[in-house]
Structure 1
Amino acid sequence: MAVKIYWLHKFDNSAQVGIMARPRGNEWLEEEILSLKKQHVHVVLSLLEKDEIHELGLRRQPELCLKHNIRYLSFPIPDRDVPSRDKRFFDIIAEAEREIAEGRSIVIHCRMGIGRSSIVAGSLLLKAGFGPGDIFAHISKMRGLRVPDTEEQVKWLI
């Protein structure tokens, strides 16, 4: 079964940015990673915290991404929360932008691909020229449901 990726934007160099719910874990995880590879994903950015990674059976995600030539990045954000506006956040966004500039497609996931994923993807869309007021409407349309999870997340980006 193919992992469902909600592609949000395709750049001039054909790189794309997308969001998704977390992959199925444990014995299904490698199949999920292979599905991402078949969909031309080059970079996975996980926003899950350590306890979520263990709970969801995703401990091997970094190893399996590496095995299948997908770069794995991690930037934990508490569920239904927002990232700190600090150097670490700006560094991960800059890293994602470098990957995109090199023509590599990136998929961002949290638990359900609604809240945390939307605000981080929204940060990349801002850099791509989307207006702050249009980002969540665009992501909601592409995702097929209203994003993000909380009003705090909306205010954080806008």
Structure 2
Amino acid sequence: MAGLAEAGVDVLVSALTPGEELRLGLIGVADAAAAAGIEYLSVPIPDRGVPGDVLELGIRLSAHIRAGRFVVTQCFAGIGRSTLLACVTLLLLGVGPERSLELVAEARGLPVPDNEAQRVWLMKFAIANQAPSAGSSRP
């Protein structure tokens, strides 16, 4: 957490399940984050799965971004679940769904998301929440 704080991270959003946290030895992560001055949000999503209703979370995270805060999302491999949470935030900031996936893939250095069900979920979320079209020229 100290390294994240030194990198300027203000908010850490974890999609890890409790079992994954245990497997990775991430016991007391919320307390460690608080001690480092990082807001920690746990949004457990089963591996290779999709989130439930994350509209309020996306609104909250996009508000953090607009306020100049550095938000990081994580999951086990940083390809699927964390991508969806990052893309939801980008969608609510006005970025189209395809462009949001491109931006996360560029940042991650890997193709995202993890599977087609996650891509379909993101597109449905974008339609349901009137996100810009895939051809949006926004960043």
Farther off after superposition, 95-104 or 53-62:
95-104
**Residue of structure 1 in register with 2:69 after alignment:** 104
- Answering whether residue 91 of structure 2 is matched by residue 153 of structure 1, we say no
RMSD of the TM alignment (CA)?
A: 1.2
Q: 1:119 and 1:46, CA in 2 relative to 1: closer, same or farther beyond 3 A?
A: same
- Answering whether residue 92 of structure 2 is matched by residue 124 of structure 1, we say no
Q: 1:99 and 1:135, CA in 2 relative to 1: closer, same or farther beyond 3 A?
A: closer
3-state DSSP of counterpart to 2:73: strand
**Residue of structure 2 in register with 1:80 after alignment:** 48
Farther off after superposition, 99-108 or 73-82:
99-108
3-state DSSP of counterpart to 1:62: helix
1:44 to 12, 15, 18: 12
Cα distance between partner residues in 2 of 1:93 and 1:56: 26
2:98 to 133, 155, 158: 133
1:113 to 75, 78, 94: 78
**Residue of structure 2 in register with 1:20 after alignment:** none
1:58 to 10, 26, 29: 26
Q: Is the 1:110–1:117 contact (alpha carbons within 8 Å) kept by the matching residues of 2?
A: yes
More strand by share: 1
Aligned AA (2:16): L
Q: Percent identity?
A: 38
Cα distance between partner residues in 2 of 1:137 and 1:93: 18
Q: Which runs of 5+ in 1 are unaligned?
A: 1-32
Cα distance between partner residues in 1 of 2:92 and 2:56: 14
Q: How far off its partner does 1:114 sit?
A: 0.6
Aligned AA (1:57): G
Q: Which runs of 5+ in 2 are unaligned?
A: 124-139
Cα distance between partner residues in 1 of 2:106 and 2:49: 22
3-state DSSP of counterpart to 2:9: coil
Aligned pairs, how many? 123
Q: Is the 1:75–1:92 contact (alpha carbons within 8 Å) kept by the matching residues of 2?
A: no
TM-score, length of structure 2 as denominator length: 0.83
